[in-house]
A and B are shown apart, each in its own frame.
Chain A
Amino acid sequence: MSHFLTYNVLTATVASAIAYSSYFLLAALGETVGQRSGVLNLGVDGIMLIGAFGCYYVALETGNDWLGVLVGMGIGVVLGLLTAFMSVTLKAQQGISGIGVFIFGLGLSDLLFVRFVGTPLPVSPLPNVAIPLLSKIPAVGRMFFHQSLLVYLAFLLVPAISFVLYHTNYGTKVLAVGENPAAADSLGISVTRIRYSTVLFGSMMAGLAGATLLLLDGIFQEDLTQSAGFIAVALVYFGAWRPAGVMSGSLVYGIVTAVVLQWKSLGIIPTSAADLAATAPAIVTILALVVVAGRYKAPTELGKPYVRGA
């Protein structure tokens, strides 16, 4: 334990926790917007997988990580169109259509990997960027201000999305469509258009999250996400459908993961019990779901397709 409580180890643990949190946060923020408009997108994990592969392939071929990020987001938008078409236009059962997208993504991402890459070669991860001045603050600088640009982006999007949801005309429409689509419809708000926009945004964020995960790891492999997309959906509930809450949830998940990993490498958790300790983030999430479910209300129309006049 004494090894863990040193300056270097503690700051490194927090820094890696922030990095872990970032891709959960990106995916969960996108999902939050979708769920606030009443659409449950369970295909996040599949979208992340294909997005991550797209990013990997482009980064590998061109050597340009940022091009890879754009491709990952683009793939998210395309799969978002599919998701929105199923859940909004065809009014499909949203839980199960998402599972379809997940299984599709699980298969296709590895299929493409075997076909176009085969042997796993690493791509250069995104460099960490030190923020001038802030990174010079003792401890805090090392923990928070030596991260890659995508990590900063994830955390900057929290206030941005809060602002859009709570302080803009568009955000009000999103919330209205999620709470009472019939009333919104009667006021001339297009439920379909709003839900398409939120699902497209959410899926783009899932693609971006996949790209972020890939660029943190630097290499693609089968089932790269290890259910991160599903965890992101759970973190939306964890955060009670509020961007700040979702950020707290992602941070808790990231910190528990990072601490367990750090303790494992320091030998505080014996190797034999490492697998058991790895259950901690999931158990913490389940407990958080229990607490949140008793106190906060989900968007009223979450998961229900809107049928005019029904």
Chain B
Amino acid sequence: MTTEGPEVEAVRHGRGSVTWRRLLLSWFALPMSALAALIIGGLLILAFGANPISGYQALLSGAFGGSYALASTAEKAVPLLLVAVGICIAVRANVWNIGGEGQIVMGALAGTVTALVVPSLPTIVLLPLVMIAAALGGAIWAGIAGFLKAYFNVNEILSTIMLNLVAVQIMNYLLSGPMVNKSQSFSVTGLIPQTKLLSRNAWLPTIVSGTQLNLGVVIAVAVAGLVYMLLWRTGFGFRVRAVGLSREAAGYAGMPVKRTMMNALVLSGACCGIAGAMLVFGSISHRMVTDGSLTGFTGNDGFNGIVVGLFGGLNPLWSILSAYLFGGLLVGGTAMQTAIGVPTDLVTTIEGLVVIFVVSMEFLRRNARIQEEAQIHAEGDAPAPGVGRRTVLLKFMRARA
């Protein structure tokens, strides 16, 4: 194979060559994981002395029954999708960004400060400005971890987790100090850590009247589309995926491995930062508000987004569907709590189980791949002399994809 044939083209498009068994596994592994998690969730509902069927019915209708529910689910899905898309970029480069929580917070803070400083700019200027500020906030926060990873070899999982803790405390300081809304009625417990009502010019405009559905949905889907193009249609995306599959091979092919990892992490943080802006400017309160706990502002979306990205097969476009489903799970969880009295923690538990099953199912897929690789070797499909480095790398990627 001296030229880039259709197979190589398929690799570029992220499909890889498929056997029926892998096809079956890749299509059914994820739904099976979700089903298994839901069954265990059902058993937990039983343990509560409640009826799982009516529980899940309440969940489904709360999430997807009627236009109001559908819109609420879409709203909930927006930050999840943005974080998930960020996770896709990072994990494709084999960089584990566990810092979504901190990057959401820093993005939201940057966006909020922007709206507080220049509140009177017209929407057409202010809204993009807020989004850019939020993306920068998240990007810089992730960039710290990226810098430490690239130049000091600090494990990014640990640095991003530590940066989460730092970000939350900075937020608690700002929201209860310099940025606090001083004109709230004083209660026994003191001021609520929240900003004043933010400039109306920075609110995400509603796109379906009578619901909370706002422009955030459009922005999130657009970002997902752009990131898909970035990962599978640009040289940068190719480098990201090559570095993710094998740092050694990518380095051998002359790619800037460290810089690529760092950039992937920075872009990932930018997506999480925009998610933070959504939580402020797409919210009902139109303030930045927390409760002093670690997840008070984010609602754990930094971790939920990881689940969504994994369930979306680390593909930004599939993540759209995945985000909508998990958004529904979270929105419906509240309806389920009201209906059968099982706390929404059940949804968190199910999410954890989904991750556990998805990573475990990977085992079956890997086995299928190993068999296939053995087949390729048996057919003597070695690269011919004179094949370029790029082609060798592409073949390598196909075998590993």
A103 interface residue (CB < 8 Å to B): yes
Beta-carbon contact of B356 and A285 below 8 Å: no
Taking CB atoms, residues of chain B closer than 8 Å to A273 are 173, 177
- Complexed CA–CA distance, A272 and B169 (Å): 12
* Contact code string B154-166 (vs A, CB < 8 Å = 1, else 0): 1101110111111
A86 interface residue (CB < 8 Å to B): yes
A294 interface residue (CB < 8 Å to B): yes
A140 interface residue (CB < 8 Å to B): no
Beta-carbon contact of A237 and B356 below 8 Å: no
* Contacts A92-B363, A275-B173; A226 near B352 (Cβ below 8 A): no
Pick from A95, A108, A226, A278: contact of B157, CB below 8 A: A95
* Contacts A95-B157, A111-B44; A285 near B162 (Cβ below 8 A): yes
Q: How far is the CB of A205 from chain B (nearest CB, A)?
A: 19
* Contacts A91-B363, A96-B355, A273-B173; A223 near B295 (Cβ below 8 A): yes
A227 interface residue (CB < 8 Å to B): yes
* Contacts A96-B306, A99-B355, A107-B348; A237 near B362 (Cβ below 8 A): no
Of chain B, the residue at the smallest CB distance from A294 is B152
B350 interface residue (CB < 8 Å to A): yes
* Contacts A103-B355, A290-B152, A293-B153; A223 near B293 (Cβ below 8 A): yes
Of chain B, the residue at the smallest CB distance from A289 is B154
- Complexed CA–CA distance, A173 and B157 (Å): 27
Beta-carbon contact of B348 and A106 below 8 Å: yes
- Complexed CA–CA distance, A233 and B366 (Å): 28
* Contact code string B315-356 (vs A, CB < 8 Å = 1, else 0): 000000000000000000000000000110111111111111
Of chain A, the residue at the smallest CB distance from B346 is A111
Beta-carbon contact of B366 and A91 below 8 Å: yes
Beta-carbon contact of A286 and B355 below 8 Å: no
- Complexed CA–CA distance, A228 and B391 (Å): 47
Beta-carbon contact of A100 and B294 below 8 Å: no
Beta-carbon contact of A227 and B352 below 8 Å: no
Beta-carbon contact of A100 and B359 below 8 Å: yes
* Contact code string B139-172 (vs A, CB < 8 Å = 1, else 0): 0000000001000111101110111111001101
B310 interface residue (CB < 8 Å to A): yes
* Contacts A96-B310, A226-B294, A227-B294; A107 near B165 (Cβ below 8 A): no
Of chain A, the residue at the smallest CB distance from B165 is A282
B236 interface residue (CB < 8 Å to A): no
B93 interface residue (CB < 8 Å to A): no
- Complexed CA–CA distance, A82 and B355 (Å): 13
Beta-carbon contact of B157 and A289 below 8 Å: no
Q: How far is the CB of A142 from chain B (nearest CB, A)?
A: 30
Taking CB atoms, residues of chain B closer than 8 Å to A294 are 152-153
Beta-carbon contact of A99 and B303 below 8 Å: yes
A-B contact count (CB 8 A): 158
A128 interface residue (CB < 8 Å to B): no
Pick from B155, B176, B346: contact of A293, CB below 8 A: B155
Beta-carbon contact of A90 and B165 below 8 Å: no
- Complexed CA–CA distance, A234 and B360 (Å): 25
* Contacts A227-B161, A290-B152; A82 near B356 (Cβ below 8 A): yes
B68 interface residue (CB < 8 Å to A): no
- Of residues 259 through 299 on chain B, the ones whose CB sits less than 8 Å from some CB of chain A are 293-295
Pick from A102, A104, A286: contact of B148, CB below 8 A: A286
Beta-carbon contact of A90 and B363 below 8 Å: yes
B307 interface residue (CB < 8 Å to A): yes
B232 interface residue (CB < 8 Å to A): no
Beta-carbon contact of B352 and A103 below 8 Å: yes
A279 interface residue (CB < 8 Å to B): yes
Taking CB atoms, residues of chain A closer than 8 Å to B98 are 95, 99
- Complexed CA–CA distance, A104 and B47 (Å): 17
Of chain B, the residue at the smallest CB distance from A83 is B356
Beta-carbon contact of B153 and A99 below 8 Å: no
Taking CB atoms, residues of chain B closer than 8 Å to A106 are 300, 348, 352
Taking CB atoms, residues of chain B closer than 8 Å to A289 are 148, 154-155, 158-159, 162
Beta-carbon contact of A107 and B359 below 8 Å: no
Beta-carbon contact of A234 and B173 below 8 Å: no
* Contact code string A212-232 (vs B, CB < 8 Å = 1, else 0): 000000000011001100110
Pick from B152, B342, B347, B360: contact of A90, CB below 8 A: B360
Beta-carbon contact of B347 and A107 below 8 Å: yes
A308 interface residue (CB < 8 Å to B): no
Beta-carbon contact of A93 and B162 below 8 Å: no
A105 interface residue (CB < 8 Å to B): yes
B252 interface residue (CB < 8 Å to A): no
Taking CB atoms, residues of chain A closer than 8 Å to B348 are 103, 106-107, 110-111
Of chain B, the residue at the smallest CB distance from A96 is B359
* Contact code string B209-234 (vs A, CB < 8 Å = 1, else 0): 00000000000000000000000000
B396 interface residue (CB < 8 Å to A): no
The 5 nearest A-B residue pairs measured at CB: A104-B352, A107-B348, A100-B355, A107-B349, A103-B352
List 12 additional contacts besides A279-B165, A289-B155; criterion CB under 8 Å: A92-B359, A95-B96, A103-B351, A111-B343, A223-B294, A227-B294, A279-B169, A286-B159, A286-B162, A289-B148, A289-B158, A298-B155
Q: Which residues of A contact B (CB under 8 A)?
A: 42, 46, 82, 86, 90-93, 95-97, 99-108, 110-111, 114-115, 222-223, 226-227, 230-231, 233-234, 237, 272-273, 275-276, 278-279, 282-283, 285-286, 289-290, 293-294, 298
Task: Provide 9 A-B residue pairs closer than 8 Å at the C-beta atoms, listed in order of the A residue.
Answer: A90-B360, A93-B359, A93-B362, A99-B355, A100-B356, A111-B343, A115-B48, A283-B166, A286-B163
Q: Which residues of B contact A (CB under 8 A)?
A: 44, 47-48, 96, 98, 148, 152-155, 157-159, 161-166, 169-170, 172-173, 176-177, 293-295, 300, 303, 306-307, 310, 342-343, 345-356, 358-360, 362-363, 366
